[in-house]
Amino acid sequence: MENKTSDKIKIIDLGLSEIVDKSSFLKSERGSIYYLAPEMIMKNYNYKVDIWAAGIIFYVLLTGKPPFNAVHKDSMGTRHLDMEKIKNLILMGKINYDFPVFQGSGQSLKELIKIMLTRNPKKRPEAAQLLKHSFFQKKLNVNVSNEGKWYIP
User: Which CATH number is 108's domain given?
Assistant: 1.10.510.10
Confidence of residue 88 (pLDDT cuts 50, 70, 90): very high
Q: Determine, yes or no, domain membership for 125.
A: no
Q: Determine, yes or no, domain membership for 98.
A: yes
At a CB cut-off of 8 Å and minimum separation 6, what does 124 contact? 48, 51, 52, 115, 116, 118
Q: Determine, yes or no, domain membership for 21.
A: yes
CA dihedral 78, 79, 81, 86 (to 10 degrees): 140
Q: Domain range for residue 41? A: 14-120
Question: Using one digit for the tens of pLDDT, what is the confidence trace for 93-135?
Answer: 999 999 998 888 788 889 999 999 999 999 999 998 998 888 8
Name the pTM for this structure: 0.78
Number of structural domains (the chain) is 1
Question: Using one digit for the tens of pLDDT, what is the confidence trace for 34-68?
Answer: 999 999 999 999 989 999 999 999 999 999 999 99
